[in-house]
Amino acid sequence: MKAELHEISVKFGTFCAVNNVSLSFAPGEIHALVGENGAGKSTAMSVLFGLNTDYQGNIFINDQLRRWKSPADAISAGIGMVHQHFMLQETMSVLENVILCSEPVNKLGFVNFAAAAKTVQNLIDSYDLQIDQTQKVGELSVGQRQAVEILKLLYRRSEFLILDEPTAVLTPNEKEELFQSLSNFKASGKSIILITHKIDEVMMIADKVSVMRSGNLISSKLLKNTSKNEIQQNIIGGKLPKPIKRKQMHPKDIGFEMQKVIIPGLATGGKPISLKVYLGEIVGIAGVSGNGQGSLVEAIVGIRNILSGNMLLSNENISDQDVSARRKIGLSYIPEDRQSVGLALDASVLENSCVSQMRNKQFSNGYFFNLQHLFKFSEQLVSEYDIRVGSVKSKVRTMSGGNKQKLVVARELEQKKQLVIAENPTWGVDIGAINKIHQELIKMRDMGHAILLVSNEIEEIMGLSDRIHVMANGQLSESLNSDQVTANKLGELMLSRNEPALSEKLEMMRP
């Protein structure tokens, strides 16, 4: 399917989100659309998919002028979109999710599940998708859920696939499986758009790359006619950020400690977890998603109760304290799930940025808020972290995923707590924002804060951490100094599946 956007413009009030953008997409092509958060990528694609019908310009499908009234029109024309945050029913099976609202019915009006199952299995086999249609979606990994979303599009006979940040939280293996699937789609003549921030992946798989910045189309070239450096410079509009430098620290005081803690549903064989994070260091927890990192973080934050052991923060035992008490004692938390855990989507940017500061006398006095200070503080965060939003009064729901993430990071780091837990802190953010977040974490470390960094990105773990633990199959390895392990070796440890293998590989790495 050939698709074209001609001179598309989108405004939200006086803010121009997309400015006179023209793009063309060819069949059998993987087209990467890149740019900073708020550059207009998702907004432009929302026009093509029919989510946004208030625009100027024209859409052409196979050289025919089209105008969608809703996504249903775009879907009928063969266009499908997988959003950054999946839209699946967890209690239903893969099959039920795939055919939902497009169920085949027999003469009596009943759903013909046998026919649907045959069609779905044929698609799974044809495109070599690693998924079982009988499983409940709630039992699936992130990568498998994404495969379900793609399967939904294939079932609806989509010839044009739009994928928004498709590899943001995938494991290395899941990423390989996705890329293989995309290659299969391309070979079958389908058009694929990747909205992404990951330039290395663009260089690996894209045929064409278009760069947007501040609502404008900066460049659109075949990949063979450009370079990684040119793409990055076009994204940020200038020189690339300087590499992060970490000064040598010699921490002596413990900021946070876990003493033989057993977490329900995590430790295998009843093996306890012990962990120390010193003031003035970043400790990285590396691991493939789903190996227990989430349960570990939940236990530290206070969302999940522990069975035994102690956790000490500021020399105070917090094992039986609730989330609020732990935050008051000295904990801030950048969660992986900004949508349901990190933010109140229907509240304003101002409310979200100030919610953790309400006990501060500068922000409130008794029952009354200091509105002047609230606005000043919120606007300062928006400016310092380059959060793209029309106004601090705007609802968070209207922001792009990357800007939501920057808001969470800004709010949590600004509290200057003794312990900062950063769980995949740069998920879905652009080059400039990644650099800014990394700089702020390093700054917190240099100021003497304890940082626990949990990340699926090996480069992020290697670049920021002073010491690294690997989590595999619910086990936490002994710590490794970051200068004693390579990215390849760390990747091997992350993929360990049992205790002997993990222990043996650690032993082999010792100097």
Q: pTM for this structure?
A: 0.69
Element (H, E) at 334: strand 331-334
279: nearest Cα among 301, 300, 251: 251
Describe the chain by its helix, strand, coil percentages, rounded to 5. 40, 25, 35
Q: CB-based burial of residue 350 (10 Å sphere; 0-12 exposed, 13-18 middle, 19+ buried)?
A: buried
Return phi, psi of residue 299, to 5°.
Answer: -65, -40
Q: CB-based burial of residue 418 (10 Å sphere; 0-12 exposed, 13-18 middle, 19+ buried)?
A: middle
Q: How far is CA 279 from CA 341, 412, 420, in A?
A: 26, 17, 11
CATH of 3-236 given 3.30.1600.10, 3.10.20.90, 1.10.40.50, 3.40.50.300: 3.40.50.300
Q: In a 3-state reduction of DSSP, which class is residue 386? A: coil
Listed in sequence order, the residues at least 6 apart from 398 whose beta carbon sits closer than 8 Å to its beta carbon are: 12, 389, 390
| Residue ranges covered by each domain of the chain | 3-236, 279-306+318-509
Q: What is the torsional sign of CA 449, 453, 457, 458?
A: positive
- Which pLDDT score is estimated for 487? 75
Task: Tell me which architecture the domain covering 279-306+318-509 has in CATH.
Answer: 3-Layer(aba) Sandwich (3.40)
Domains 3-236 and 279-306+318-509 share a fold: yes
Name residue, tokens 């500068």. Answer: 362
- Which pLDDT score is estimated for 117? 93
User: What's the chain's length in residues?
Assistant: 511
Return phi, psi of residue 348, to 5°.
Answer: -80, 170
Q: How many angstroms separate the CA atoms of 432 and 6, rounded?
A: 29
For residue 56, the tally of other CB atoms under 10 A from its CB is 12
For residue 504, the tally of other CB atoms under 10 A from its CB is 12
Quote the DSSP letter at residue 6. Answer: E
Please list the rounded mean pLDDT of every run of 10 residues in the chain (511 residues).
Answer: 95 89 96 88 94 96 95 93 82 92 84 92 87 89 83 90 82 78 91 90 94 94 94 81 76 93 73 92 87 90 92 94 93 87 91 82 76 89 88 89 88 94 86 85 94 89 92 85 80 60 49 45
Return phi, psi of residue 273, to 5°.
Answer: -110, 130
- Which pLDDT score is estimated for 499? 43
302: nearest Cα among 339, 272, 329: 329
